A = this chain, B = another copy of it.
Amino acid sequence: MATKWGDREARRVDILEAGRRLLTDRGYAALQMRDVAKGAGISPGTVYTYFATKEALYAALYAARLAEFADKVEPLCAECDDAEDLFVAMCTEYLEMYRVYGQELNIWAVLAGEVELEREVGGQLLVAAARIYDLVLRTVDRLRIAESTAAEVDPGLVVTMLWAVMTGLADHFTSVRHYLHAHKWEETVRFTARTFTAGLRSPGEQERQA
């Protein structure tokens, strides 16, 4: 760390970087404030003049990662015209993020104000989440994914379902770690995407809607 005494901006980056490294290399349990301080080349007390709690530090890391996720998903949504392929690609990006950030902080709890954060970090989380939500919403529209059901189904409902399914798949596959899996990630996600898109386009939908 070449960060000079009093350079708060650089110091903040040092802390975030130290935290990010611990998290990605060794998981949430290894994200300990003493080690964050050590990694940033400062004392434990100083970390707390930048982040009020460990949770706030974690939220800041998560916000950055979520923005990165949005950056990766945006071109996918723009380029891909096949809903099934797009879902598979998005899920796979999501899995990478979920592997590191999935278990611990709950973004919705943050957005709901259950967790106290500095306004800035909370705002970053909100912006990133809203960006992703909008992105998916517009893509669902563009690909007419809810086509046959469009007359009655709120596209937001489709997005909510998609998000939940992604989370479920990611959770399942990050927890099991290769062991008792009869099915591989690619196979399961592909099958889910296929089922899902077929279901949304099924002509049977409209009549059952009534």
The residues of A with any CB-CB pair to B shorter than 8 Å are: 103, 106, 108-109, 111-114, 153-154, 156-157, 160-161, 163-169, 171-172, 175-177, 179-180, 182-183, 187-188, 191-192, 194-202, 204-205, 208
- Which residue from B112, B188, B197, B201 sits with its C-beta under 8 Å from A157? B188
A164-B171, A167-B171, A196-B196 given; 18 more Cβ-contact pairs under 8 Å: A106-B175, A108-B180, A111-B179, A112-B179, A112-B180, A154-B182, A156-B182, A157-B188, A161-B192, A164-B165, A166-B168, A168-B171, A194-B205, A194-B208, A195-B199, A196-B199, A198-B202, A199-B202
Decide: A160 near B176, CB < 8 A? Known: A171-B167, A194-B199, A199-B202: no
- Set of chain B residues within 8 Å of A156, measured between Cβ atoms: 182-183
Nearest chain-B residue to A197 (Cβ)? B199
- Which residue from B111, B168, B200 sits with its C-beta under 8 Å from A199? B200
